[in-house]
Each structure stands twice: as C-alpha cells, then as structure tokens.
Structure 1
Amino acid sequence: MKSKISANSSCFTFAFIWFTTQFGGGFASGRQVIDFCFGYGPFVVITPVLTQIIQGVILYFICKYAIEFKMFDYRSWTNSFYSPYDKIMSNCYELCYNLVLAIATAIAFATGGATITQLLGTPYYLNTAIIGFLMLFLTICGANLVRKAATGISILIIAGLLIIFIPNIIYFRSNIGSNFNIFLSQTTSQHLTGGFWKALIYASLQIAPMGAYLPHAAALGEKINIKKAVILGTLINASLMLMVSLGILGLHDKGIAGTVVPTLTVVTEGIGKQLLTPIVSILIFLGSVSTGVNLIFGIVKRVVSWLERNEEKSIKESKQKSRSMLVAIVYIILTWSIAQFGLIPLIAKGYSMVGYLTLFVVVIPVLIRGILGWKKPVETSLEEEIKNLEV
C-alpha cells in the first residue's frame, strides 16, 4: 500500500512539474493563450486540449526511453536516442533547450520583478535579486525539493486560477457564447489548417524544455506510472488552459487581445477586482519562479553529469553539491543579466523558431520511434540513479 501511494505521489508530482514548467509569465498573463489559441475560429477551445494531448504522447515516449535506458540528463538521452546521428541532432536539441532556458528564465526575472514592484513598490533590481536567490536555493537543494516545490506552487497556482476564472466565466457566460458563435460563423478552411498547425507548433515549443522533465522521470520507475503521470498532466494542463481561454473569450469583443496582461483585464472588467488583482500578481510571480527553477535544474543536471562522466562514484558524490551550485549560479547570473540589460528582444527573435525546430528535432523523431519501438536494454535497478538525483 505504501509503495502504491508513493508511486501515485510521483505521478502527481511529475504532472505538476510539467504544469509549472509550462505555466510561466506568458501563460499567467494570458498572452500565450491569445497568441496561440485565438484567430483560428473554433480552435479557441480546441487548441488548449489538442496541444496538451500532443505533449502528453511525446512526453510518454521520452520518459519511457529515459527509464528503459536509465538516462536522466538530456545530453545522455539525446546522444543515445539519436545515435548514430547524435553529433548533429544532440547539438540541435542543445540549441533548443538553451534558447528556451535563456529567454524563459530572463522573462521570469523581468515579469516577476516588475510584478513585485507593481504590487509592493519595492525596487526592480532588488526584486529580481530575490527571485534569483529563490531559484538558486530551490535548484541546488536537489530533485526532491524541486519536486516538492513544484507540487506546492502548482496547488497555489491552480487555486488562484480557479478563483479568478470560474466566477468570471460564469459572469461573462453570455458573451462567451456569442463570441464563440461569431468565430464559428467566420470559420474558413484556412482557419482549420492554420489552427491545427499553430496548435502543433505550440505543443512543440512546450516540448523544447524536455530536459527539465528528464531528471524527475526516474522517480516514476515503471511504464504504468509514466502513463498515469502524462494522463494527469494532460488533464490538468488542458483543463486550466481551456479555462483561461474561455475567460478571455468572454471579453474578445471588447479588445482584450490587444492588452498586455489579458488576465488582469478579465479581473478589472469582471467581478472581484479588489480581491483578485493581487492574486493575478502572485500568480505571475509564482509562474515565473517555477519555470525558471525547472529549466535551471535541467541544465544543472546536464552539465554536472558531463563534468563527472569519467570520475569514480566517491569523487562524484563529494563534488556534486558544489558543482551544482556553481553551474546554477552561472546560469542564473547569465539569465538575470539578459533581463537587466535589455537583451530579451535580441534573443526573442530566435524564440519564435524554437517551436519549429523542436517539431523536427524532437516531436517527429520521438513519435516515429515511439510508435515503431526500439530495442530494450537489459533491465537493471534504478536505485542508484534516483539516489544521485536526490543528492
């Protein structure tokens, strides 16, 4: 019974890590939903579900391969999965992950810092420094704390989203119906093909940080737990993204698509403005920190695994903490600098291409190999891998 409870807990935790990685400042603000779900007729309600189903299928195959071959940092995974073409494909994925890491974490600093300034009036630089220390603390304390933090943050975010959107969806229900009918009446074949393609690209963009999920795949242990985890993650992410989409749809005729923070517009134009405005700020802050932590943790695992590749176990264990701290500090300072010195627009020019690149580098190859199958290695215990991740 105890092992069953532990397995179920790991499934929920993995689903929450997926959620908190995807739920960044763009999701919290509502801009991501508008950019990818609106403008394609009925895909305003199809995209939130379709994108999560696509991600769920791809993540299942990714985690299945990781567990069977016992590779829980993304470079080891890509080198094995893409062999004998790993020198090309692994480096292509390295580009995808580092680009996502740089821009998403930089945006986490920028949006989180600005949000705290707006809420409390404290200096922006101080706010971003606090966010950096939070990211560093959670990252270097190991996989267990990251998983616990993801669970706790997810519960807070989900509760906040429900408090914001459920009352306002009810309040704007007639507008939601009429706006959706307008979308349906204007639907063309171009909307359908364009909407499907946009959904596929969004799903691919969210698969780009798969390196953030791999360190936590070991805790799942078995194939049945992978299925449970991705089903839970699909249901949680799809339900919440659909809820946000419906809430924004209620104000589409009032020009919400042109606002900077659509979620805040839902609150100010809806009900409970005084209560819900601070909640929006808290959600943006939590979403920013959680995304940054998950991405930084993924790159720390990858770099540390590379540094200790030729070392004995005792040396690995003695240096793992200090190496993890050093790598985390370097990447946090790098992304903090991007946020401070206005380099986000420069990097963002390549960000829109991440979805296209990931589609061909990860999504299509994983889908093909996942369906066709791969030769399984000899089964061995995962205890050592899990122990290393928890150090």
Structure 2
Amino acid sequence: MKNKKLSVLLAAFAVGSTIVQAQEGFKIIGRAPAAKDGSKVYFDYQGAAGEHSDSTIVKDGSFAFEGEVAEPNFARMILDHENKGKYMTQNIGDRLYFYIGNEDYHIAVTDSLHNSAITGSPLHDEYTTFLDEVGGCFIAIMDNASKTAASIPQDDPQYNEKMTALREKVDGILETRRQKELEFAKNNPNSIFSAEALRDVANTHPLSEIEPVLASLSEEVRSLTTAKALTARIIAEKTIQIGNIAPDFTQPDVNGNPVHLSDYRGRYVLIDFWASWCAPCRAENPNLVKAYQAYKDKGLEVLGISLDSKSGRDAWLAAIEKDGLPWVNVSDLNGWSNAVAVLYGVRGVPQNYLIDPEGKIVASNLRDERLHTVLAEVFSNR
C-alpha cells in the first residue's frame, strides 16, 4: 500500500488486543454510610463476554462487585438512593464514570457516589491524570450544560439567545478539550487514553488529521477496540466510495447459516444497515419493501444487516416479521460493533449501499423518494 501510515493501521486492525492485565479479574469494594443501607447499586461495563450489567445493594455500609474484562473500558456505576429503579436514575441520578480494568478498586462514598474517591487502581490514577490534562470528563461537561439549560425559564424573553450562547460556550469548551486530547495523544503513544482521546477528536476533526497520530501510537494501544474501530473508520473512508468494489463479508442469517456478499455477484443488491430499536429504520422499512416489490423481478436484491445485540435477538426477529421484510437478514448481534458495520464505517442507521452486478458501489444513503428515483434509473433498460 502506498500510504505507509495506513499500512501500519491495517496491521494493527488485523491483530487482537495485547493489553496486559494485572490479574485475571477485577474486584470492587465500596464503602458507604450506613444511612445508604438498602440502596441499589447498578454497574454497567463491557465484560469479557460482551456487554454486562450487574447490580447489588448496600448492606452494612458496603457493597461489592467482581468480574472480568478483556481490556480496559469505560464503565458506569449508579447509586439509587431512593430505589427509583435504573430507568429513572441512569441519566440523571447519582452516577460515577470510570475505567474498569482487571484490578482492585476501593470506592469510598461520602455524600454521593459522584463525589466518591477511588483508590487502589493504577488505571484509575492514569485516567484522572488524563482528565486533568484535557479539561475534565466529557459527560460532566454535558451534565453541567444540561443543568444550566434547565435553569433558564422557557418564558424568559431572552430564552433563545441564552440557549444559543450556552451552546456556543459548550462547543468552545469541547473544541478546546479536543485540541488538548490531540496533543495528549501525540505526547503519550503508550497510553490507552490516547486511543480514547482520538476517538473523541474524530467526532469533529477530519480523519486525515487523526490518521498519522493514530499510526504513531504503540502497537499495544492500536490493538485496543477503540483504536481498531477508529482504524476501520479511516480505512472505510478510503475504500467505501462510489465506484469502488464493495468489500466482501460473511455474516449468519436468522438460522445461523453463513451469507456472503459475493453470493449476490451478478445482481444488484442493496445492503441495508438497520436495527429493531431504530425508529427511523422501522419507519423507512415500508418504503424499502415497496421498492423491493417493484424491482425484484428485474434483479434487485436486498440484504439486511442488523445492528441489534445478542440481548436484542428476539426483538430483531420480531421486527423482521412485523415489518414484513422478505429478503435475507443477517447479523453477528454485536450491536454497533457489528463487523460489517465497522468494515463499512457505519456510524448511524438507517444507512445503505447499492452494489451493481460487478460488485461496485453505485449509490448510498437511498431513502424516501430518492430510493425509487435511483432504482428507476438503474433498471430503466432492464
């Protein structure tokens, strides 16, 4: 490959994680005031076997969790002081965000989980250093912005002006933070938080600016899931283009049988990325069914690729039946980490790509009337 930096990224993308863990699993011991006894504690993280949610209660002033992660990842803990339930507290309740690795954690709760102190974990110490250097936690910044927005009365004569000023202020804070994240990544090639920093920077900066910094990170850091996902975005930006050959892939259908994109060579196929939980996807499905019925006899195929997770398999199958999707549907049930979605750089659904009989990408993001207009042009002489 001509691009040496991209060659480095491709090599990292091909290997698994090599981050060394200090021990086989993690242990969390929490200490809370006796007044918190009976309160529910929820804990969400990416476990060794996938997404994991756990819960316990505070008893005799303490609580505990044990588990294992394949690599360090972002975790969320919630202390439900009034036992309102996870649904009511996960976005506005007493929350603590930190990185979980296979280490021992001691959490000392005083008035709230949010203000608690974490000790015993070198990974957490590194995380707090990272936050200090880049300007704090992204979620904390957004929480503060939400509180400020909620404090502005909607009947305030200057409501719109104040909200606009708040958005501009927050955008400025986040852009300053991203500039610091970019510098952090440049100066700390061996830190796992450099991969996290670049992931955030890539939300607003061009990937061409991210690529050389990502390629300069250590092989160990580039093997992290976050870094590999970013690598895939960079590769996809270069390869998933109109006129290029669509990369082949294999995923299981609803019965577990392997389906290959190459199976459709010689026909037009619309690769449709969707999910059962995606309202815009479900709203577009009748339009897609209509188009399929109109052009299937002329050679149109549809291949549905779901971004549902393993826990959502039943919802995926129910949606296929309810929406009357007659084409082949596949998924590895890995949610946003679906291998094909990663390969194609999909960051939002619905999304689709029209592939011609030679395997070339000829159109993308076809929805509403544009779907019918493009298909009419494609099949006008067939």
The question of a shared fold, defined as TM-score above 0.5 by the shorter chain, is answered with no
| TM-score normalised over the length of structure 2 | 0.22
Larger Rg: 2
| TM-score normalised over the length of structure 1 | 0.21
Which one scores higher on RCO, CA 8 angstroms, separation ≥ 6?
Answer: 1
Determine which structure has the larger strand proportion and give its number. 2
